[in-house]
Amino acid sequence: MSGRFIAFEGGEGAGKSTQAQLLAEALRARGLEVDVTREPGGTAGAEAIRTLLLDPPGTGWGAQAEALLFAAARADHVARRIKPALASGTWVICDRFVDSSRAYQGGAGKLGDDAITSLHKFGSGGLRPDLTILLEVDEARLARRLAARDGTQSDAIGGRSEEYHRSVADAFRSLASHEPDQFAVVDGNGEPNDVHTRILGAIAGLLKERN
């Protein structure tokens, strides 16, 4: 049986990486093979594109070039890592996936959802996760976490205006409300273990399908 594909989404500092690791441990404890990966990145080529995106040369990328680079990184990641893993029965947990492009480039970057989904169709055959977990964290808590994590050292996208990041958050909420079967919105406030318990609740259906 093929593996399941779970993506974590949300703004910067929402706790996606921590929760991806906690979920992987919980699934491995149930005897599953799990591959934890991230975007942009996850393969040698996609990690090289990540550097171009987060630490861009010269004056940086225009909106279209940026969206194409994310889609190119994703195409390599899907073809060389995600699809083979799923085909071999491995569960894949990805820290960000195409819904980040929809929220950042499509929403906040104003390219629109059709452009991003077309690129995704061309680059990655339109692959969707079985479930996208959207972690929602209060703005004040996010600001504290980010100050502790990044200080003044945020990357080219993380360092964009508050307005841009608010627009990303609105776009994520709108995607989740229009696609309730695709998204599980999980309250990311509180202790990591409490958030983890909520996530286990959200993926219970996927585990059951397997049995």
Binding residue count for ligand TYD, defined by CB under 6 A: 13
Distance CA 153, CA 165 (A): 16
Tell me the residue type at 126. Answer: G
Binding mask 133-152 for ligand TYD (x = CB under 6 A): --------------------
172 binds ligand TYD (CB under 6 A): no
CB 76 within 8 A of CB 43: yes
- Binding segment (CB under 6 A) for ligand TYD, from list 18-26, 27-35, 99-107, 189-197: 99-107
The residue number whose beta carbon is nearest to ligand TYD equals 104
Return all residues near 159 (Cβ < 8 A) that are at least 6 apart.
none
Choice from 24, 37, 46, 70 touching ligand TYD (CB under 6 A) = 70
Candidate list 12, 76, 130, 136; residue touching ligand TYD; CB under 6 A: 12
Given 96, 176, 188, 196, the residue binding ligand TYD (CB under 6 A)? 96
Is 51 or 88 the residue whose CB approaches ligand TYD more closely? Answer: 51
Q: Give me Rg for the CA atoms of the chain.
A: 16
Q: Facing residues of 94 across strands?
A: 7, 37
Q: Please pick, from the candidates 7, 157, 186, 203, the single residue that binds ligand TYD as defined by CB under 6 A.
A: 157
Angle, CA 156 vertex, CA 152 and CA 159 arms, to 5°: 45
Tell me how far, at minimum, the Cβ of 106 lies from ligand TYD, in Å.
9
Enumerate residues 29-58 that contact ligand TYD by CB under 6 A.
38-40
Q: Which ranges of the chain would DSSP assign to H, the alpha helix?
A: 16-29, 44-54, 63-77, 83-87, 98-101, 113-124, 139-150, 162-178, 192-210
Asked if 8 and 46 count as a contact pair (C-beta separation under 8 A), the reply is: no
- What are the backbone dihedrals phi and psi of residue 39, each rounded to the nearest 5 degrees, phi first? -130, 150
Give the range of 20-28, 84-92, 94-102, 189-197 binding ligand TYD by CB under 6 A.
Answer: 94-102
Instruction: Give me the residues that bind ligand TYD (CB under 6 A), please.
Output: 12, 16, 38-40, 70, 96, 100-101, 104-105, 157-158
